[in-house]
Amino acid sequence: MDLKLVRQRYESELYDKIIPFWEEHCVDREFGGYFTSLDRDGSVYDTEKYMWMQWRIVYMFAKFAAANNGPARWIDIARKGYDFLTAHGKSGDGSYYFALNRQGVPSVAPYNIFSDCFAAMGAAAMYKATGEAKYRAEADSAMRNYIRRMDDPKGRWEKTLSGRPARLSHGHFMMLANLAFEMRDCLGSCEYDSAAEEAVRTVTERFWNPEMRILFENVNPEGEPFDLDSCEGRMINPGHGLESMWFMLQHAERNADPVLIAKAADIIKGILAFGTDQEYGGIYYFMDALRKPHLELQWDMKLWWPHCEALIACLFAARLTKDPFFLEKFAELDNWTWTHFKDPEYPEWFAYLNRRGEVTHTLKGGKWKTFFHLPRMLFTCAAQLKKMEND
C-alpha cells in the first residue's frame, strides 16, 4: 500500500468534495443554525434541527479552521451556528434540548446528555480556533453538565420504571474519555483528566469480556457485569466499540501507556473478528453476544459511521503497534467502504446499506447523519497516514 497515495485520496475527498457539499447546502441563512436533512443532491427535505447534528457541524468547521488555517468562511459558519444554538438551545438548567424547529423554538425535550456532549466539543473547538473566552466558558459549562447528568442521564424525562434493571452505558464512558481529551487539546485544561482516567478504566475493564472477546454496550453496575439473559445485556455495537478503542489509543499515546495501547489493540481485533460480516463484507450495525435474535430489525444493515470508525481504529493501531494485521485490515475496509458508500454521481457518501451492501436510502444527512463521522474519518486517517509516512 502506497501510504502517500492513500492519504492524498482521503485529503482530496475531504477538501474537494465533502466540505464544499456542506458549505453549500447546510447553512440556514434566514434563521441561523443548519439544515442536516439533505437528500442525495443536497436539497433540504426537512428543517428540524437536531442538537447533536448541529453542534457536530460547529465542531467540524471550527476544527478545520484551527487545524488548517482555513478560510475565514469556515469559522464564520461555525460562529453563526454557535450563536443560534446558545441563543435558542438551552433549557432552564443549562442543558441542551434534543431538537429545535427551524426558527429555534424547542421541539424535543433535553432528555439526552449527548446534546451537552457535542455542545462541549463544539464550544471547545471554537475556543481553540478563536481564543475567545466565551467559548471556553460554554465548553466548561456543557462539559460539567454532561458529567453531572451521567448518573441520571434522562432526569425527569426517563420513561422506564423500577422494573427495568439499572445499567452502565458504554457510550457514556467512551464519550467522557474523548471529551476530556478534547478539553485538554482545545482548552489546555487538566480539570477533566481524572474523569478521563476513570472512564478509560471503566471501558477497558468493565465492558470488555476477555473470555468471549466481546465489548458489551450495557453492563450491570454491581455484581456480575454481563447479563446474558436479556437482549439489552447481550447488545453489541461494533462501531461504538471501534470508535471507543481509538479514543483509548489516543489517550494511551498522550500518556505514554504501552499497556493500554496493547490492550486497546487486542480489543480492536476482538471486535473486528466478531463484528465483520464474513459473507458479504463490511461491519454489522448491531449484534447479539450469543447470536440470538436482535430486537432491532436493522441489526444487519451496513452503516457509514461504523466503517468510518473502523478505518480510524485500524490506522491508529497500525501506527502505534506496528502489527501488520491492522494495515492489512485497513486496506480491506478501505476498499469495501469506498466501493459501497461513496456516491458515484454526487458529493458526500451514502449512509445506509442493506447487508449485501446495496443502498437503501439516498439521503446524505438526517436525524443521525451530519457533517461529522465522514469528515472526521477522512481528516484523522489522513493525519495518521502522514505520521506513518514519516516513521
In a domain, 360, yes or no: yes
> What DSSP string runs through 240-291?
HHHHHHHHHHHHHHHTT-HHHHHHHHHHHHHHHHHHB-TTT-SB-S-EETT-
Task: Place 81 in a pLDDT band, splitting at 50, 70 and 90.
Answer: very high
In a domain, 347, yes or no: yes
CATH of the domain at 202: 1.50.10.10
Identify residue 214 by its one-letter amino acid code. I
- Tell me the backbone φ, ψ of residue 219, rounded to 5 degrees: -130, 160
Strands 44-46 and 99-100, how do they pair?
Answer: unpaired
Task: Place 285 in a pLDDT band, splitting at 50, 70 and 90.
Answer: very high
CB 70 within 8 A of CB 132: no
Has residue 354 got a pLDDT over 90?
yes
Under DSSP, is residue 214 helix (H, G, I), strand (E, B) or coil? strand
Under DSSP, is residue 45 helix (H, G, I), strand (E, B) or coil? strand
CA dist 4 and 172 (Å) reads 36
Place of cell 449485501: 356
Has residue 362 got a pLDDT over 90?
yes
Has residue 169 got a pLDDT over 90?
yes
Tell me the longest C-alpha to C-alpha distance in the chain: 56
In a domain, 313, yes or no: yes
Identify residue 195 by its one-letter amino acid code. A
- Report, as an integer, the average pLDDT of 269-294: 98
Nearest Cα residue to 251 out of 329, 183, 309, 328: 183
In a domain, 145, yes or no: no
pLDDT above 70 covers what percent of the chain? Answer: 100
| C-alpha 45 chain-centroid distance | 24
- Look at residue 119 in the predicted model and tell me its pLDDT: 98
The parent domain of residue 386 ranges over 3-45+168-390
Which burial class, exposed, middle or buried, applies to 148 when counting CB atoms under 10 A from its CB (0-12, 13-18, 19+)? middle
- Look at residue 70 in the predicted model and tell me its pLDDT: 85
In a domain, 151, yes or no: no
Element housing 377 (H / E)? helix 373-390
In a domain, 337, yes or no: yes
Element housing 353 (H / E)? strand 352-353
CB 25 within 8 A of CB 87: no
| Domains in the chain, number | 1
List the beta bridge partners of residue 302. Answer: 353
- Report, as an integer, the average pLDDT of 107-111: 96
| C-alpha 311 chain-centroid distance | 13
CB 236 within 8 A of CB 274: yes
Under DSSP, is residue 330 helix (H, G, I), strand (E, B) or coil? helix
Has residue 11 got a pLDDT over 90?
yes
Q: How many CB atoms lie within 10 A of CB 196?
A: 23
In a domain, 134, yes or no: no
In a domain, 287, yes or no: yes
